[in-house]
Amino acid sequence: MNDQGSTRLRVAKGALWFFVGVAAVVAVARFLAGLGAVTNLTDRTPWGLWIGFDVMGGVALAAGGFVIAATVYVFRGERFRPLLRPAVLTAFLGYMAVAVGLLFDIGRPWNIWRPMFFWQHHSALFEVAWCVMLYLTVLALEFAPVPLESSRFHRLTKALKSATLPLVILGIMLSTLHQSSLGTLFLIAPARVHPLWYTPILPVLFLITAVGLGMGMVIVESKVTAWLYRRKAEDEILNNLTKPLAVTLLLYGAVRLIDLLVRGQGGFLFDGSWESTLFWFEMLISAGLPTLLILGGFTARSGRALFFVGLLVVFGFVLHRINVGGVSGIGLTDTGYFPSWEEVATSLGVVSAATLAFLFIIERFHVYEPGTEEVLAEAEVTVDRVRYLPPMATLRSSTMLFVIGASLAFALLPDGLVFGARPEKTPVAGPRRVLAELVSQDRPPHRFMKLDLDAERVGGDIHEALLLDGNRNGEFAVFDHDAHAKRRGGAAACADCHHLNRPSDRETSCFECHRDQYLETDIFRHQRHVESLGGNGACAECHTDLNATRTRKNVTHCTECHRDMVGIGLKALIPPPGKDSDFHAPSYTDAMHGLCKKCHDEEDEKAGVTIPTLGLCGTCHTEPADLRPRRSRTVKED
Amino acid sequence: MKPAAKHHWAILTDVTKCIGCESCVEGCRGANHTGRDQPWTWQNGVRDLSASRWTTIDRLPGNHYVRRQCRHCVSPACASACPVGALKKTPEGPVVYDASICMGCRYCMMACPFQIPRYSWDSAIPAVRKCVLCHDRIESGEAREPACTSACPVDATIFGTREELLKVAKQRIAANPNVYRSHIWGEHEAGGTGILTISDVDIPLPNTVPTDPLPERTWAALRTVPFVFLGVGAGMVGLRWLLGRRDQLRLAEEKARAAEASAEKSEE
């Protein structure tokens, strides 16, 4: 093995391996712990970076394949033939990246084959799925002669080569459909795409951008590999692409603006919102600036300007797709989505893996024209092209970065990646020092703290306590700090809540231990009040007017009896009468059933009665209509 | 899209009657075994719809309670978007879900104009979660109406057929025109929905819920697919032949001209 090529190649490969390493670890966590543990996706934003960039962008970048194939075979542009193989390879690997990205993104990847057998022709995604599958196959067959031509399978290679033309035509047909179908995907979601982007002709726009992207991508890819391998880029051929590219860009700009005006959405163009700024930025870098550079003759003069134009077009059109795919809808859906580092790492990893595969293939097969190829061979190792090189033979220092990336990802793994998604932590608000009385009683809770606003100093049952708002909802709880410390093991237990070992953590949320804190609970227990007030005769204690319908409005308010439940200067736990109250009363059914049915059921069970006397609705509700308590409630009197 | 069946199951919710007790929520939780609510990062709050809460009550200012759930659209965007048919519109009306077919693309969540479907993001085997109008329980004879409507203590939400409930809604509005807004939410929204709501206050729906059925917008593009496919194929083949013929003619012309030239030369 020699010194494995130039430094820039080594650095580039090392970086790519690093990203693949990080992504590999994240991928394992994603499949073990679920989407919620790795992504920032929400119920409001179900599609994020993986769809917006990997799929929408990946398919876009792969457009070079069908554009160059059409140029060479349909438009008879023989001079573009040197660009064909790299473009088809990019397309193939681009689609592979899309497929792999999809496996990460979809929730049940083992069902990914279903669209083949469950036909839903009215779904745009069904069409996309079919086109991706078919086109991936077509691309594989189209590129297959390249690795095969140096092998023993001469007949197979010959057969495949003779099928190239039909394959190319089929490829163009499929690409047309499914580049545009990516736009169709969003026709059903007008609520998620800003009017500057949402239009019934989205499919047409996506097809035009695909053509532009195809040409832009061919330029970028040719220039990048030329730089990496210190070979001469095909500048003269590439410059021939700029004229059709400029036409495409102008067509795109015109169609978009005219469409906006026809739909009457022109007002959004200058309303000063961030969407309008985004729109103009996107139009400037995707269509405006590249057209100027091409028509101004800059690209013909300088290879750098050519590369810049390619980059602008690719970046601008991918931005268009990402904008349609989600960014433009941020204001409409009011989403708080921003990709997590795990999502970004996975996207980078998938793209890096595809790039590594690209480099691997161009170093071994006749992808570039003979002249440039020797440079490639020199840049890497001298490879005997006939002999198969086992993959492990290429493991060199750059691949070490895979291990480093993977280790780093392991080190960065948050709890969520290891144990699965966790409910949200809410940091505690407060604390505030107060005096409270420790109350002991026979029934549960046997010991609790009651705010004592009149107490002046600690002593007797009066303790110092903290007021905490455990979930920041404006309702404070009396927190017995000393008792918690004692229960957790005295002075050694500080770090349980005060995370001294984690600098960014200020304190532990109550919820970390009291997992039921956020569950909706009845803070008013009807049954307990019935018991403590003397059973069935006690209704009138609270429901003072027994003839009136019993609602929250005419019931005796909690604070009439529990005078200490009103805090001063705090949001009261139970609002005083007249104010809007938000506690949960039991439903009428529960209240009434609790009076009779509960005891009877218990007694029946003790006595071993198989059919509970009050277990049948008809025992009390004599009319069928009474099963749903409404107008007349005729309960049989005993 | 299939035309709506004659007897489309429906629910009528009357905001003026609802007391916000959430018995419907608990009834649903019990009947569908949705599990307990937890404050996940991906939902707006424990009270919001979630994989464990298929219906919820939005509290509007002034003690108005609006129940939210899947609206079982007459022509549902989610079912038309599903690439495998895991979500489908039953002839009876409810939009039901089959997790075993679902591939988890979440296109249904993107498509729903009411932003209803939820996802069990915490699971390694996730699923789309939403109200199915207790279709399975009613079809199997286990129940005669959805758990939510049977749990309602004040009949604020009732079950019936869409035509019948539309009539009821119109009667109620006509009887108390001063109380109700003269609008039945769900009569026309997104092409009509199985959940109807009448109210004394305006109900905030997600922005831009259109009045036209959304699946038709996709279909306008998708129905051209076979023609585009074949058209592009034919066009490409034709173009290739045309340009090949042009090159051929030009070549022949050049040859003829060269021959002419050489003939002239030899004549001289």
User: Do B207 and B238 reside in the same domain of the chain?
Assistant: no
User: Do B149 and B76 reside in the same domain of the chain?
Assistant: yes
Q: Mark which of B213, B235, B259 sits at the end of a domain.
A: B213
Angle separating helix axes A341-364 and A7-33, nearest 10 degrees: 130
Whether B22 contacts chain A with CB within 8 A: yes
Q: Find where tokens 């009651």 sit.
A: A450
Closest chain B CA to residue A51: B105
Chain A nearest CA to B240, separation (Å): 4
pLDDT in tens, A478-495: 788 888 888 888 777 777
User: Do B200 and B83 reside in the same domain of the chain?
Assistant: yes
Closest chain A CA to residue B156: A630
Contacts for A118 with CB less than 8 Å, ≥ 6 apart: B84, B85, B101
Q: Is 80 exceeded by the pLDDT of residue A372?
A: no
Burial-class residue B263 by CB neighbours within 10 Å (0-12, 13-18, 19+).
Answer: exposed
Average pLDDT, chain B: 85
Q: Read off the pLDDT band of B260 (50, 70, 90).
A: confident
Chain B residue numbers with beta carbons less than 8 Å from the beta carbon of A105 are 105
A124, A169, A552 ranked by CB distance to B218: nearest:
A124
* Strand blocks (E) in chain B: 9-14, 56-60, 64-68, 87-89, 95-97, 118-119, 128-129, 157-161, 195-198
* Counted domains in chain B: 2
A125, A129, A190 ranked by CB distance to B81: nearest:
A125
CATH of the domain at B69: 3.30.70.20
Interchain contact, B84 vs A31, CB within 8 Å: no
Chain A nearest CA to B40, separation (Å): 4
Chain B nearest CA to A524, separation (Å): 13
Local structure of residue B52 (DSSP, 8 states): T
Q: Identify the domain containing residue B136 by its residue range.
A: 9-213
Q: Mark which of B213, B237, B259 sits at the end of a domain.
A: B213
Give the pLDDT of residue B69.
92
Q: Find where tokens 């036909």 sit.
A: A119
Give the pLDDT of residue A444.
54
Q: What is the spatial distance between Cα A148 and Cα A164, in angstroms, rounded to a whole number? A: 14
Q: Read off the pLDDT band of A142 (50, 70, 90).
A: confident
Chain B nearest CA to A421, separation (Å): 5
Q: Which strand (E) or helix (H) includes residue B166?
A: helix B162-175
Q: Which amino acid is at B96?
A: V
Interchain contact, A34 vs B225, CB within 8 Å: no
SS3 (DSSP) at A601: helix
Give the pLDDT of residue A499.
62
Give the pLDDT of residue B45.
72
User: Regarding predicted confidence, which is higher, B26 or B107?
Assistant: B107
Give, rounded to a whole angstrom, the gap between the first and last alpha carbons of chain A. Answer: 100
Q: Which amino acid is at A7?
A: T
Which range of A559-568, B14-23, B30-39, B158-167 scores highest in mean pLDDT? It is: B158-167
C-beta of residue B16 within 8 angstroms of C-beta of residue B181: no
* Mutate which: B55, B236, B245, vs A, most A CBs within 10 A: B236
Give the pLDDT of residue A565.
53
Whether A33 contacts chain B with CB within 8 A: yes
User: Do B158 and B29 reside in the same domain of the chain?
Assistant: yes
Q: Is 90 exceeded by the pLDDT of residue B95?
A: yes
Chain B nearest CA to A159, separation (Å): 21
Q: Is 90 exceeded by the pLDDT of residue B128?
A: yes
Q: What is the spatial distance between Cα B29 and Cα B204, in angstroms, rounded to a whole number? A: 25
**Number of H helices and number of E strands within chain A?**
27, 4
Chain A nearest CA to B242, separation (Å): 9
Chain B residue numbers with beta carbons less than 8 Å from the beta carbon of A579 are none
B46, B111, B207 ranked by CB distance to A332: nearest:
B207
Q: What is the spatial distance between Cα A352 and Cα A14, in angstroms, rounded to a whole number? A: 10
Interchain contact, B42 vs A42, CB within 8 Å: yes
User: Regarding predicted confidence, which is higher, A628 or A351?
Assistant: A351
* Strand blocks (E) in A392-460: 429-440, 447-451
Q: Read off the pLDDT band of B267 (50, 70, 90).
A: confident
User: Regarding predicted confidence, which is higher, A529 or B53?
Assistant: B53
Give the pLDDT of residue B94.
92
User: Regarding predicted confidence, which is higher, A475 or A269?
Assistant: A269
Give, rounded to a whole angstrom, the gap between the first and last alpha carbons of chain B. Answer: 80
Chain B residue numbers with beta carbons less than 8 Å from the beta carbon of A112 are 103
Chain A residue numbers with beta carbons less than 8 Å from the beta carbon of B150 are 628
Q: Is 90 exceeded by the pLDDT of residue A458?
A: no
Interchain contact, B232 vs A172, CB within 8 Å: yes
Chain B residue numbers with beta carbons less than 8 Å from the beta carbon of A520 are 22, 37, 46-47
Q: Is 90 exceeded by the pLDDT of residue B11?
A: yes
A37, A126, A580 ranked by CB distance to B83: nearest:
A126
User: Do B140 and B256 reside in the same domain of the chain?
Assistant: no
Interchain contact, A46 vs B122, CB within 8 Å: no
What average pLDDT score do residues B54-77 get? 87
Q: Read off the pLDDT band of A273 (50, 70, 90).
A: confident
Chain A contacts in chain B segment 27-66 (CB below 8 A): 36-44, 46-50, 63
C-alpha distance from residue B161 to each of A217, B145, B185, B190, B194 (Å): 56, 11, 16, 19, 9
CATH code of the region A41-338: 1.20.1630.10
User: Regarding predicted confidence, which is higher, A382 or A203?
Assistant: A203
Give the pLDDT of residue A584.
44
* Strand blocks (E) in B112-155: 118-119, 128-129
From the list A168, A166, A197, the residue with the least C-alpha distance to A279 is: A197
C-alpha distance from residue B261 to each of A26, B91, B237, B265, B268 (Å): 73, 80, 36, 6, 11
User: Do B110 and B15 reside in the same domain of the chain?
Assistant: yes
Q: Read off the pLDDT band of A378 (50, 70, 90).
A: very low
Interchain contact, B80 vs A122, CB within 8 Å: yes
Q: Read off the pLDDT band of B195 (50, 70, 90).
A: very high
Interchain contact, A188 vs B81, CB within 8 Å: yes
Q: Read off the pLDDT band of A69 (50, 70, 90).
A: confident
- Flag the least confident range among A225-239, A608-622, B62-76, B218-232: A608-622
Query: ipTM for the complex?
Result: 0.84
Chain B residue numbers with beta carbons less than 8 Å from the beta carbon of A36 are 40-42, 121-123
Please report the DSSP string for A482-498 in residue order. Answer: HHHHHHHTGGGGHHHHS
Interchain contact, A107 vs B102, CB within 8 Å: yes
Q: What is the spatial distance between Cα A172 and Cα A154, in angstroms, rounded to a whole number? A: 27
Tokens of A227: 């730089």
Q: What is the spatial distance between Cα A611 and Cα B139, in angstroms, rounded to a whole number? A: 28
Residues carrying CATH 1.20.1630.10, chain A: 41-338
Closest chain B CA to residue A185: B218
Cα A55 → chain centroid: 13
Chain A contacts in chain B segment 162-181 (CB below 8 A): none
User: Do B48 and B100 reside in the same domain of the chain?
Assistant: yes
Interchain contact, A43 vs B119, CB within 8 Å: yes
Give the pLDDT of residue A251.
92
pLDDT in tens, A188-202: 888 888 888 888 888
SS3 (DSSP) at A297: coil
Give the pLDDT of residue A427.
59
Q: Mark which of B213, B232, B253 sits at the end of a domain.
A: B213
Cα B238 → chain centroid: 41
* Mutate which: A49, A98, A102, A125, vs B, most B CBs within 10 A: A125
Q: Read off the pLDDT band of A421 (50, 70, 90).
A: confident
User: Do B24 and B145 reside in the same domain of the chain?
Assistant: yes
Q: Is 60 exceeded by the pLDDT of residue A568?
A: no
Pairing between strand B9-14 and B195-198? Answer: parallel
Whether B1 maps to a domain, the answer reads: no
- Flag the least confident range among A398-402, A499-503, B194-198: A499-503
Q: Is 50 exceeded by the pLDDT of residue A519?
A: no
Chain B nearest CA to A337, separation (Å): 9
Chain A nearest CA to B260, separation (Å): 28
User: Do B184 and B206 reside in the same domain of the chain?
Assistant: yes
Q: Read off the pLDDT band of A7 (50, 70, 90).
A: confident
Count CB-CB contacts under 10 A for residue B212.
12
Cβ-Cβ contacts under 8 Å between A and B: the total is 234
Q: Is 50 exceeded by the pLDDT of residue A327?
A: yes
User: Do B129 and B247 reside in the same domain of the chain?
Assistant: no
Give the pLDDT of residue B133.
92
pLDDT in tens, B134-187: 999 988 888 888 999 988 878 889 999 999 999 999 999 998 888 888 889 888
C-alpha distance from residue B85 to each of A113, A119, A476, B78, B193 (Å): 13, 8, 49, 10, 20
Give the pLDDT of residue B127.
92
Pairing between strand B95-97 and B87-89? Answer: antiparallel
Chain A nearest CA to B165, separation (Å): 18
What average pLDDT score do residues A53-80 get? 83
Average pLDDT, chain A: 75
Q: Find where tokens 């025992």 sit.
A: A619
User: Do B244 and B122 reside in the same domain of the chain?
Assistant: no
Chain B nearest CA to A256, separation (Å): 18
* Mutate which: B102, B105, B211, vs A, most A CBs within 10 A: B105
C-alpha distance from residue A629 to each of A240, A585, B140, B161 (Å): 81, 17, 26, 22
